[in-house]
Structure formats: structure tokens, C-alpha cells
Amino acid sequence: MEPIIQLTREPLDRDALVAAVSHPSVGGIVVFEGVVRDNARGKNVRYLEYDVYEEMARQQIATIIEEARQRWSLEHVAVAHRFGRLEIGEASVIIVVATPHRAEAFEACRYLIDTLKSTVPIWKKEVATNGEEWVEG
Amino acid sequence: MIISQKKICYTLDMKIKIRYFASFRELIGQGEELLTVADATRVVDIRALLVERNPRLQPIMERSVNALNHRYVPAETVLHENDELVFIPPTGGGQ
């Protein structure tokens, strides 16, 4: 099945993503959900702004899913990232991996979020009570 | 630089598009621009040109990599007509 890749300004729908990867042949589903935290490096974060280079991000996410497929037996994958302004507690990213067995679901999901963070052109700006900055690394 | 003998070149200029994201967009104050540059210009030449034009870009340019037509490329890559060039500041955030 084609992977699901969503880049959107709208709130992410975890249930819909999980439903989309569910299938009778699947034995394990791992969900990673990144949410906006109210603090970072001692600062009080008010909200986050995500910027995305949409065309390239889409291609890059497809590439890392393909890399994961070559390493693990993935049945279905969904990667969704939100951009624009996000409030505390809202989900910025959701990765859902469905596999025949649980071990590879955990490993593949971990790989996808770590690689997404380092190679996909999506940037995060923290707007804190004492100023704002684009977060690196 | 190799130019075909048969080709009649009225100009050796070409147009490229640069798009700006994140800190670049904020420092430059716009999301994209069209630049007319000489034939065989490389990515590294554009990096130098932008920093010369706006020295405040230097720190973020040094930390950024290059994307040409949606793919990561080295700075020595030669540009072509209608290319889309983007400087990619460090991504990530969170552990």
C-alpha cells in the first residue's frame, strides 16, 4: 500500500491515521505523536510556529519511508506533520507504523521520527515569553 | 565553460528561483525571488552573492545546506535555467 504522507495546517487526526494503516495482516501498530511542550531549555514557551518546504518535505518523507521499507517488513505507514502556529499540547507530528510483528514496528517508527527530524526540511520556531528563535538540532 | 559553436547566444544569462524558509525568510523579508545570473553559476556563487548583499545572512548561511530542485546537493553544483534553489538551515528540534 502507498504510504500516507500528510502536510497540513489543520489539526492532525490520530484516529484516522491509525484506521488508515489497520489491516487484517497487521500484528502490531506503533504510534509516535510529537506534542508541543510549554518549556524548552529553561524558557516558557507560549506557542510554536512550524515552517515547511512542502514539495521537498513530501519527497524526503517518501524517501525515508522507502529506506525503512528496505530494512523492516512494513505493511503500512502514515506520516503526518502539521505546520503554521501550534498551541501547547497540540500534536505537531504523528507517525504510525503497522507491521506483522511488534519489534520492527518500534524500530521502524524510531527510525522514521529520528530521520525525519534530521533530513526533512521542516523548521520549528519557539515563541517564548522572553523572545523567539528558530530551533536547530 | 563549453558553448556550442552552432548555438547563437544573445545572452549567457539565466533565471533561477530562490525560495526562503524559516530564518532566511525572516532575515530577507520575502519568501522567494528570481535572480538573473551568468551561465555556469554555481550554488556556492549564489551563497557568496547573498551574503555580500546582506551580511546578516552569514551565520545562518554557514550552518545551511543546499537543495536544488528538491534534492540536497553540494555547493559546487552548477545551476541551470529555471532551477529552484533553497538554502536549508538546520532542521530538527526536540530529542
Q: What is the 3-state secondary structure (H, E, C) of chain A?
A: CCCEEEEECCCCCHHHHHHHHCCCCCCEEEEEEEECCCEECCEEEEEEEEEECHHHHHHHHHHHHHHHHHHCCCCEEEEEEECEEEECCCEEEEEEEEECCHHHHHHHHHHHHHHHHHHCCEEEEEEECCEEEEECC
Do A7 and A13 meet the contact criterion of CB atoms below 8 Å apart? no
Question: Chain A partners of B64 at a C-beta cutoff of 8 Å?
Answer: none
Render pLDDT for A14-29 as a digit per residue (tens, 0 to 9).
999 999 999 999 999 9
* Number of folded domains that form chain B: 1
The grid coordinates of residue A31 equal: 504510534
Structural domain for B37, as ranges:
13-88
Residues B73-77 have a mean pLDDT of: 98
Cross-chain residue pair A122–B91, CB shorter than 8 Å: yes
| Helix residue ranges per DSSP H, B8-85 | 22-28, 43-53, 58-62
Is residue A135 included in any domain, yes or no?
Answer: no
pTM: predicted TM-score of the whole model, two decimal places:
0.91
Is residue B94 included in any domain, yes or no?
Answer: no
Confidence band for B10, pLDDT divided at 50, 70 and 90:
low
Mean pLDDT for chain B overall: 90
CATH of residue B40's domain is 3.10.20.30
Picking from A37, A81, A134 by the largest number of B CB atoms within 10 A of its own CB, the best residue to mutate is A134
Is residue B2 included in any domain, yes or no?
Answer: no
The predicted structure's pLDDT at residue B17: 98
Say which residue, B1 or A35, is predicted with more confidence. A35
Residues 6+ apart with CB under 8 A from A47: A36, A85, A86, A87, A88, A127
Cross-chain residue pair A56–B86, CB shorter than 8 Å: yes
CA distance B5 to chain A (A): 37
Is residue B6 included in any domain, yes or no?
Answer: no
How far is Cα A65 from Cα A78, in angstroms, rounded to an integer?
A: 9
The predicted structure's pLDDT at residue B94: 63
Q: Which of B63, B70, B89 sits opposite A123 (nearest CB)?
A: B89
Render pLDDT for B29-45 as a digit per residue (tens, 0 to 9).
999 999 999 999 999 99
Q: Which of A56, A119, A135 sits opposite B93 (nearest CB)?
A: A135
Confidence band for B5, pLDDT divided at 50, 70 and 90:
low
Is residue B41 included in any domain, yes or no?
Answer: yes
Confidence band for B9, pLDDT divided at 50, 70 and 90:
low
Beta bridge partners of A29: A98
CATH of residue A99's domain is 3.90.1170.40
Question: Phi/psi at B35 (nearest 5 deg)?
Answer: -120, 140
Residues 6+ apart with CB under 8 A from B5: none
| Interface size between A and B, measured as CB pairs under 8 A | 55
Render pLDDT for A48-89 as a digit per residue (tens, 0 to 9).
999 999 999 999 999 999 999 999 999 999 999 999 999 999
* Number of folded domains that form chain A: 1
Is residue A11 included in any domain, yes or no?
Answer: yes
User: Is the confidence at residue B72, as pLDDT, over 70?
Assistant: yes
* ipTM, two decimals: 0.90
The predicted structure's pLDDT at residue A135: 93
CB atoms within 10 A of CB B57: 20
Confidence band for A115, pLDDT divided at 50, 70 and 90:
very high
Is residue A136 included in any domain, yes or no?
Answer: no
Render pLDDT for A33-49 as a digit per residue (tens, 0 to 9).
999 999 998 899 999 99
The predicted structure's pLDDT at residue A137: 72
Q: Which of B21, B67, B71 sits opposite A123 (nearest CB)?
A: B21
Structural domain for A121, as ranges:
4-130
